[in-house]
Amino acid sequence: MTQQEGASEPGSFKEIVYRRAAHPVGLAVALFFFAQSMSPSLLPRVWYLQGVATGISIATGYGIGCLVAWILRRCGVRPQWTDATRRRGWWLLAVTALVVIPTFLVLGSWWQQVVRELVGLERLERLLYLPVLLVSLVVALLLIAVARLLRFEVVWLSAISARFLPDSVAKVAATIVVALVLVVVFDRGVYRGILSVAETSAAASDHGTAEGVSRPTAPERSGSPDSLEAWDTLGREGRTFVSGGPTTDEITAATGESALTPIRAYVGKESVGTVEEGAEKVVAELDRTGAFDRAVLAVVTTTGRGWVNENVAGALEFVSGGDSAIAAMQYSFLPSPLAFLADRETPQDAGRALFDAVYTRWEELPEDTRPKLVVFGESLGSYGGQAAFASGEALVAMTDGALLVGTPNFAEPWGRITEGRDEGSLERLPIVDGGRNIRFASVPEDADLPGEWEFPRVVFWQHASDPITWWSFDLILHEPDWLREPLGPDVDPGMRWIPFVTFWQVTLDMVFSADVPDGHGHSYGVDAADLWAEILVPQGWGSDDTIRVQNALSGRSQNSELEPTAE
């Protein structure tokens, strides 16, 4: 056997996957990535999520180090170290690790305490951070083992192919084949299998009804005895939505004015075949309830499984004195994270279908009798709802106002509006056309800009610490403007962009992004009252009215079931 032929022969499976010695350059870069992964990001992370983020970062750093060493070897850089020098190098690496690992475990736990304070959470016992090292090592070793397994497959396949093809062609072909097999297995096996199980489970749970939720009797609600929609077809979140909301007595007590019963029209996925059919049924409910005779008509695109933020919906009803109607429909059984993975098109189709159907009916009315037409949505609902508008200008031209909450980074026209912000304004709080119609706010005061705020008024409500808004694949290799610019008041000043590492930090920040106090992360609460008051500007409304509504919403939220996890 020639030397060239021997170079193509694979080692044993156990040698490549388990026994092959770790590369010192890979370990050095992995150690650096370990240290960087402990740095603060947008939200506090529980120890096991920190362990996962750190483990992925370690494996990524190791892979990058090995890749750099391989490239240098291919370029002819092959240092001839003596055995003594190699031993000293390994000892130096070991001593560095003994210093760096405990130091950054301590620093990481301290940074997490700082982040917890910034978002209004209590401190935790720092000893709980010790298992991070164990979890991170397990995750890193598993990922490295998988990478080596794939490399073994490439080497093995290229060795076989080299009998019929030139060596270089065989290696390229083997790499392509293994990559394709990996994609097919993941897509048709793991990915689709998980989604199928999740959808079946979600569809089954959708038949349940949350504790304390009962069928409404008021004709203004879908699912009531007078409704065209059967109560048991509305889905779990739909039933919660139509049975909730402030009563006329609560609205009167907060505003000091007599109130109407707010209309809530809702159609569940179970009763329709397509989103267009669902939108038509929502319009039928609006007609039945007299929604087009109300002062304000709101079109809301829900999250994946049909959830509507009760704070945002209730605030609208309080601010409008109950003279309002909200139109919504369910388009999926899956919660937003899985709905996003499974299908990005349906939320947009649903958002367009619902707005277009309501807008068409609304346009038929005499201009002087039309209600104010507004839109709102949160998270995936904001993403889907914006699909009805080609641009920010279209959003302003076709509505009488909008409140778009916790918008994901991939939404449009949010992305184009943010990209086209006025020079000198921040990415996390863009100023667009001097704030003429469209404004961004983390807290209501952010919407108070020097220039005149003309009607219609649109507000993008987004927190500086909300990972749903700031997560993007671009974080892997590109530093975003919001990390170059002054950070938000609830973001640790020590947060820095690190290639690959920041992406995984923000990715895992999303898991519990709603499990923080209102005003931080992906938790949007009673400040909705202030923003709706700015958008609708009710006659005679003052700051005292807003405070009373916020207090009323706070009291209601303690007795109602809100979305438990990030949508």
Same domain, yes or no: 141 and 237: no
Tell me how far CA of residue 104 lies from CA of 50, 171, 189, 421, 547, in angstroms: 13, 40, 38, 38, 44
**Final residue belonging to a domain, choices 123, 145, 180:** 180
Same domain, yes or no: 304 and 453: yes
Domain-embedded: residue 201? no
Q: How far apart are CA 346 and CA 348, in angstroms?
A: 5
Tens of pLDDT, residue by residue, the chain (567 residues): 333 333 344 555 555 554 456 889 999 999 999 999 999 999 998 889 999 999 999 999 999 999 999 898 888 888 888 888 889 999 999 999 999 999 999 999 999 999 999 999 988 776 567 789 999 999 999 999 988 888 877 778 777 877 777 877 777 777 787 777 777 766 665 556 666 666 666 666 788 899 999 999 999 999 999 999 999 999 999 999 999 999 999 999 999 999 999 999 999 999 998 999 999 999 999 999 999 999 999 999 999 889 999 999 999 999 999 999 999 999 987 777 767 666 788 999 999 999 999 999 999 999 999 999 999 999 999 999 999 999 999 999 999 999 999 999 999 999 999 999 999 999 999 999 999 999 999 999 999 999 999 999 999 999 999 999 999 999 999 999 999 999 999 999 999 999 999 999 999 999 999 999 999 999 999 999 999 999 999 999 999 999 999 999 998 665 554 443 344
**pLDDT for 1:** 37
- Amino acid in position 469: T
User: Who contacts 427 (Cβ-Cβ below 8 Å, separation ≥6)?
Assistant: 418, 421, 480, 481, 482, 485
Domain-embedded: residue 437? yes
Q: Two tokens at 53?
A: 């983020």
Decide: 296 and 372 in contact? Cβ < 8 Å. Answer: yes
DSSP 136: H
Tell me how far CA of residue 223 lies from CA of 177, 236, 545, in angstroms: 54, 12, 32
Phi and psi based region of residue 218 (left: phi greater than 0; alpha: psi -120 to 50; beta: remaining):
beta
Query: CB 77: neighbour CB atoms within 10 A?
Result: 9
> What's the helix, strand, coil split of the chain in %, to 5?
55, 5, 35
Q: How far apart are CA 233 and CA 267, in angstroms?
A: 8
DSSP string, 44-112: ---HHHHHHHHHHHHHHHHHHHHHHHHHHHHTT------HHHHHHHHHHHHHHHHHHHHHHHHHHHHHH
Angle at 35 between CA 32 and CA 40, to 5 degrees: 135
Alpha helices in 409-473 (DSSP H): 414-419, 467-470
Decide: 525 and 557 in contact? Cβ < 8 Å. Answer: yes
**Final residue belonging to a domain, choices 180, 197, 229:** 180
User: Who contacts 220 (Cβ-Cβ below 8 Å, separation ≥6)?
Assistant: 261, 262, 263, 264, 289
Domain-embedded: residue 197? no
**pLDDT for 341:** 65
Same domain, yes or no: 340 and 227: yes
pTM of the model: 0.89
Same domain, yes or no: 380 and 488: yes
Domain-embedded: residue 566? no
**pLDDT for 16:** 53
Same domain, yes or no: 320 and 267: yes
Same domain, yes or no: 61 and 106: yes
Same domain, yes or no: 149 and 286: no
Q: How far apart are CA 39 and CA 105, in angstroms?
A: 10
Name the domain count of the chain.
2
Q: How far apart are CA 39 and CA 50, in angstroms?
A: 10
φ, ψ dihedrals at 301, nearest 5° = -90, 125
Same domain, yes or no: 14 and 145: yes
Chain-centroid distance, C-alpha 555: 27
Domain-embedded: residue 194? no
Helix axes 131-161, 47-74, angle to 10 degrees: 40
Task: Determine whether 345 is exposed, middle or buried from the number of CB atoms within 10 Å of its CB (0-12, 13-18, 19+).
Answer: exposed
Decide: 268 and 233 in contact? Cβ < 8 Å. Answer: yes
Same domain, yes or no: 173 and 217: no
Same domain, yes or no: 174 and 243: no
**pLDDT for 6:** 37
**Final residue belonging to a domain, choices 180, 214, 232:** 180
Same domain, yes or no: 252 and 151: no
Domain-embedded: residue 105? yes
**pLDDT for 563:** 41
Same domain, yes or no: 349 and 394: yes
Q: Residue 544's domain spans which residues?
A: 206-557
Domain-embedded: residue 199? no
Q: How many CA atoms lie within 13 A of 488 on its CB side?
A: 27
Domain-embedded: residue 567? no
